[in-house]
Structure 1
């Protein structure tokens, strides 16, 4: 695979469109808002913007319940606004990645209206219908990812339909060739409008067990976990036939030049890597969420990187993610000091990094009063809601942080008057400045963008060190996961220049023999 392909060298930036920029004064972000902020994304130094769903939707799950795969919900604008966004993004030399939600539609989609109208309707088999169990209950023990049974009875036809998520999100039947053909046409619709790739929602769910067998009980289930963890999803997801489905999608994209296929996959590493396909013919980037799920310790993260690198198939390109619209923000998980170390890790590991909007200004957990909670998962299973990681981007001081002229759909952070782009963009020690400098280094140094990776053994348990090399350039990254200062030896006879510290004021220092780190400090050194 060419080293110059954009999605290998580049950095992806996820935008949750409801929360990025409101331009029409309704308190919800829109497409014109994303277009308005493209100057910022170009200034920051990212290469692609991934946009969460913008399709027409009843918004039962905020756009992940799609009523029309080839349109734009009026909440966000219209197709003309989308076309303008793509054109302006390309003018800014930014790629556009669109969220694609093929596993399930909305209950309001015309396809489902036809499917549920009668058992004889030609689109009946476009969704997953089953007869009741002998006792009249659900066909099997499959559970919804949002709590409760994954089957809802349709009284008119006497059968149950399957929904891996909300009852308002019936699963499509990807074993039906007509469904595949229709969805391939959806991909072409957006590709013809200039989209540079897709992030495919819950891609490992697309094929279910043909016999609809019960999932086995999970012996490691604990009561505080979401109910979905009561059973191991052996039969309701991650079926081997799914790779053929993904390979067919990939072939649609291959008819266009330089497009990327990214798959959302919450699976262990050994299963995750199979989604590259047997001949690298499935997902270009099966999303790697392991940094979100691994304990934040130097030894655990070092082991994760080693295991992931070892598991990659020949030619498979790695990728890394610290957060997204479904997970608590990185600063909320590990604190703002270590979130700076996490930024340095994300942007210096081998592979394509994906940033989540707002992490670059250090957005933390935002408390949501009960009366303002929006997430349906929170209503079904209290304590698992995703609203705190979906709060509006904070652009400037002022009543609504420059996001809107009215009260936003979710609250701002308590420190919004100081934690915003305008207040942080010129501050040498700000998180935003650190992100921008890291992104600049990735572009300047081929070793960080496409170089090889090698773990460096370290004596202090709190430190993780590794090297990235390309041609004659060697860059060493040293990350202190602890609060205590550390001193690490450097190779005998070598001399190093400090390119960047996660703490302000040290750039340009030289070191030989050993290098000192403060607590929660990361260093990027170049051999000179």
Structure 2
């Protein structure tokens, strides 16, 4: 199997734009209302036309679908709902033939409770080698009737389930298993050499089939603190539908490279991870995986879902002998605020640069409210756990305006960028999805207090005049689409030069031609511009100006506007309006460079 070659001497992942596909919601080939691998393959031309470099596939493995495919029952096959291994091979061949890399999701923190490994653990009982593959412990209390510790699940409720309630076997009285997420997702025991060997086999299986890398789910959670001590922080801290546990800032406030000391930033606090996350032992695992990946040609890569702060600690996951990338969650959760954005960009680049790694940038994914809606809320930083019909609704016009500005800011930054399917259409969150149709376990585990992530996972609209907006041949969709998405369908937007889709395509083309992803960043101060309202930086000979909030700014004469988020570029119009980003080609702008 062939893989695309990099156009430069640097590894492809250092500046790639990677497009996340949630397979159930991208495109349906057989009409059952669920997206599938042949549907993805048939629509890869759209991604080539758009101008991305790689595709990240969320899980497609056999799964009971208790958590949208992140409960895996076989790591080396394809769920029949989504296709076959032959379909996956065809997808890889087609993608590589089009010049696209393919990254697949790996879910090593937990499996499904229907995985043969877990069934064997239940069948063999306490003390068995099979049970050592998972995290089993005897409960506390006289008869083991209470959980082993006070840990809480990220999805809500206790993080432990008592085994004898499942098996009815008297030998199991008092035994519990750990599940950091849903009870149907038992945590694997990464202290076991058996687990480590099995996952190296899994990596080889997919690498041999030609995948270009892995997105590692819950990368910071595989190893738990010795003894599994109680944690006063309560529930596990992780980006998941907007929920995070935070500790107060310690020390001096950060300094903005343009405006000076800054307070009240979303990044001013540090996530208190607790004993279930970011343990030293995870790095041994990724060093081992790195040694395996480098035996394969083509710059195979790993990107970690490592929800770790501060930035210097997160950067440990991307040291030269570990992962190639890690997601930038502080940037994902940063408010639409100039000093906050400038600060998180600066801190991220400095931390990653210190270990020689590129920084990643992302605005949306399958776990958070789509940013076209988030940026229309009063709190633009911390994503709520879904939005329902009776919740405060986003300002759709303001949210889209800011979303367009935000993506031009992101795509102008050096490093690698991630796009979530549908954001190129300006898709908002489905905020009126009937609660009765929700499938996210967060909704049920929270007792209906958190709407969860279904609203960002609704099937894409491809054709405005077709049932189901062309998602599949029958019009069926596993979640209903909002009626007003007809105006956002791909076929409508491709014909409109002012559409969000056209903006994305133009920006991606310019980003590649101007080599912004492999460039550098220098903050600048524009004369007369308020640094609390305006971001400005140079990347090569491109001046990027971002206005945040109800302000406008005039940039220096002598530049040529290449692209702006609020409409067609006009070479003579150097006024950047409110909540707008402009890319301006300059040679020697009359601006003051500051910092790095």
Smaller-chain TM-score range? over 0.9
Which residue does 2:418 correspond to in 1? 354
Aligned mates of 2:246, 2:512 — CA distance in 1: 45
User: What's the CA shift for 1:121?
Assistant: 3.0
Which residue does 1:421 correspond to in 2? 490
User: What's the CA shift for 1:497?
Assistant: 1.7
Q: Does 1:109 align with 2:108?
A: no
Determine if contact 2:110/2:188 at 8 Å carries over to the other structure.
yes
Q: Does 1:289 align with 2:353?
A: no
Larger mean Cα displacement after TM superposition, 183-192 or 481-490? 481-490
Q: Does 1:468 align with 2:539?
A: yes
Report 1:265-414 matches (<5 A). Answer: 265-268=306-309, 269-277=311-319, 280-312=320-352, 313-334=354-375, 335-366=399-430, 367-381=432-446, 382-397=449-464, 398-404=466-472, 405-414=474-483
Which residue does 1:124 correspond to in 2? 131
Aligned length: 509
Alpha-carbon displacement from aligned partner over 1:248-304 (angstroms, at most 9, x marks no partner)? 111111111210100002222232112113xx2111101112222111111110111
Report 1:29-108 matches (<5 A). Answer: 29-108=35-114
User: What's the CA shift for 1:218?
Assistant: 6.6
User: What's the CA shift for 1:119?
Assistant: 1.8
Larger mean Cα displacement after TM superposition, 390-399 or 479-488? 479-488
Aligned mates of 2:202, 2:365 — CA distance in 1: 25
TM-score by length of 2: 0.82
Aligned mates of 2:567, 2:244 — CA distance in 1: 44
Determine if contact 2:332/2:361 at 8 Å carries over to the other structure.
no
Q: Does 1:478 align with 2:478?
A: no
Which residue does 2:522 correspond to in 1? 454
Aligned mates of 1:384, 1:205 — CA distance in 2: 24
User: What's the CA shift for 1:122?
Assistant: 2.3
Larger mean Cα displacement after TM superposition, 403-412 or 205-214? 403-412
User: What's the CA shift for 1:134?
Assistant: 2.6
User: What's the CA shift for 1:407?
Assistant: 2.6
CA RMSD of the aligned region, Å? 2.0
SS in 1 for 2:161: strand
Alpha-carbon displacement from aligned partner over 1:130-182 (angstroms, at most 9, x marks no partner)? 11113520011111110011111101312111111001000111111111010
Aligned mates of 2:21, 2:61 — CA distance in 1: 15
Aligned mates of 2:329, 2:443 — CA distance in 1: 22
Tell me which of 160, 184, 189 is aligned to 1:168. Answer: 184
Structure 2 residue runs without a partner (length 5+): 1-5, 248-271, 376-398, 588-596
Q: Does 1:153 align with 2:162?
A: yes
Which residue does 1:192 correspond to in 2? 208
SS in 1 for 2:470: coil
Alpha-carbon displacement from aligned partner over 1:211-270 (angstroms, at most 9, x marks no partner)? 111113379x9xxx9888499432111111111111111111111121010000222223
User: What's the CA shift for 1:5?
Assistant: 1.4
Tell me which of 505, 517, 520 is aligned to 2:568. Answer: 505
